[in-house]
Amino acid sequence: NTLPDSNISYEQLNKLFLKRRSVRWYKDKDVPISLIEKAVNLASLAPSACNRQPYYFYVSENRKKAVEIAMCAGGTPGWAEGIPCTIAIIGDLSAYPRERDRHLIYVDGSLAAMQLMLAFETLGLSTCPINWPDIETAEKKIANLLKLKVYERPIMLLSVGYAQDQGGIAYSQKKKAISLIKKV
């Protein structure tokens, strides 16, 4: 199996990473399922332990339901009402029967979610990862809403849409390598 050549430079990749921001204000425009499928196809190329890909993308293009799903996480009042599409990244614990491996759904699902966000960015769509609270009442609410099986767990939510031209984008200073690297 030969790998394709890549002409993507460090500078181009850096530009993409800098361009991707958490967008909370979206145009009143539907997100085509064809673009969601394209982005998911790229997300599926993310590494996962034993290539089990223990996650699913529960997609809601119905605005009312997209908002309802986003509101399960909390931290979204004031902007959830404008979300045109919500994706719930759901981990599948049945992929790892051993207790020692149960955390892998969170690692693998998060790797796929990051690739999903970058893929959407290249397709002209913006996203905002929505932190999932590990709170029993929220877990039950989303499990009922999405009809999750007992071995499926929410990893995170993701709002998706076309960014408003005048919508604000939160900014936070990112740490640099000098403060992130710990030599051992």
Q: How confident is the model at residue 97 (pLDDT cuts 50, 70, 90)?
A: confident
3-state SS assignment for residue 146: helix
- Write out the two tokens for 79: 């902007």
Q: How confident is the model at residue 91 (pLDDT cuts 50, 70, 90)?
A: very high
Question: Residues of the chain with pLDDT > 90: what percent?
Answer: 86
**For 24-71, how does the pLDDT look when each residue is reduced to its tens digit (9 = 90+)?**
999 999 999 999 999 999 999 999 999 999 999 999 999 999 999 999
State pTM to two decimals. Answer: 0.93
pLDDT at 134 over 90: no
Q: Which residues contact 20 (CB under 8 A, 6 or more apart)?
A: 117, 118, 121, 127
